[in-house]
Amino acid sequence: MQALILAGGLGTRLRAVVSDKPKPMATIVGKPFLEYQIELLQRGGVDDVTFCVGYLYEQIQNYFGSGEKWGVKINYSIEEELLGTAGALKLAQRFIHGPFFVLNGDTHLDIDLPKLARFYQENKENHNAIGAMALAEIQDARNYGSVTINADSAILSFNEKSESAETSKLINAGIYVLAPEILNFIAAAKKVSLEKETFPTAINQGHPLFGYRTEGYFVDIGTPAGYQGFQQHISGKDA
């Protein structure tokens, strides 16, 4: 399988501590965050990667080049203007040739990618799933959009950030496996969100998306607190 990494955002929430580079290139214990994503993909057997880039993309391209140093092939899909999480995938359509992983460029999850792929494949065969989303369970999901699922793990709804402590504790952990048919639900050259527009539309039209519950370490490095937390997590692993 192949993977696309969404790395084109402006990173405004992290500007207080990372102001001279794109957010996915924020330094974590001596190397950019994106390098940890590449290592996660390598462990999962993925060696075909496309970076969906925009803001200050030259820094990403200059650092990773063709990917040869990491044993992967890297392509670049460059946004001239921000297209959102779904619009970025649509722009990169020419690189997609089958089911594919999608990783956020600002969240990290310790996950067994082959298990996620098998979960997707089983639900594709049994329920015509259009994709699978990794879900993390956290005690307080009020700062995140939460996800609700049914007994079969099919996703029922995506909920905006809520002040209610009763909201679902399951959140989108920023890693998906998607069928290439998902691209049929995305308009070209428009700013479109996977979570707010594409996924709900696909589900409403009878193409279910399934949630894969995980217990691995999850962090959003897009905030100063998350950035520091991942620094500590990696430092602890290296100690």
Q: What is the pLDDT of residue 13?
A: 59
Predicted TM-score (pTM) of this structure: 0.94
Per DSSP, what are the bridge partners of residue 134?
A: 212
Q: How far apart are CA 85 and CA 204, in angstroms?
A: 19
Active-site positions read 161
Per-residue pLDDT tens digits of the chain, which is 239 residues long: 899 999 987 656 565 566 578 889 999 999 999 999 999 999 999 999 999 999 899 999 999 999 999 999 999 999 999 899 999 999 999 999 999 999 999 999 999 999 999 999 999 999 999 999 999 998 877 778 789 999 999 999 988 766 665 667 899 999 999 999 999 999 999 999 999 999 999 999 999 999 999 999 999 988 888 889 999 999 987 65
Q: How far is residue 28 from each of residues 19, 36, 70, 184, measured CA to CA in Å?
A: 15, 9, 17, 37
Q: What is the pLDDT of residue 67?
A: 97
What φ, ψ does residue 170 adopt, rounded to 5°?
-90, 130
Cβ atoms within 10 Å, residue 136: 26
CB 32 within 8 A of CB 26: yes
Q: How far apart are CA 120 and CA 114, in angstroms?
A: 10
Q: Regarding beta strands 218-220 and 209-214, do their DSSP bridges make them parallel or antiparallel, or are they unpaired?
A: unpaired
Domains and CATH numbers, the chain: 2-238 (3.90.550.10)
CB 132 within 8 A of CB 119: yes
Q: What is the pLDDT of residue 163?
A: 60
Q: What is the pLDDT of residue 99?
A: 98
Q: What is the pLDDT of residue 71?
A: 95
Q: What is the pLDDT of residue 18?
A: 62
Q: What is the pLDDT of residue 32?
A: 94
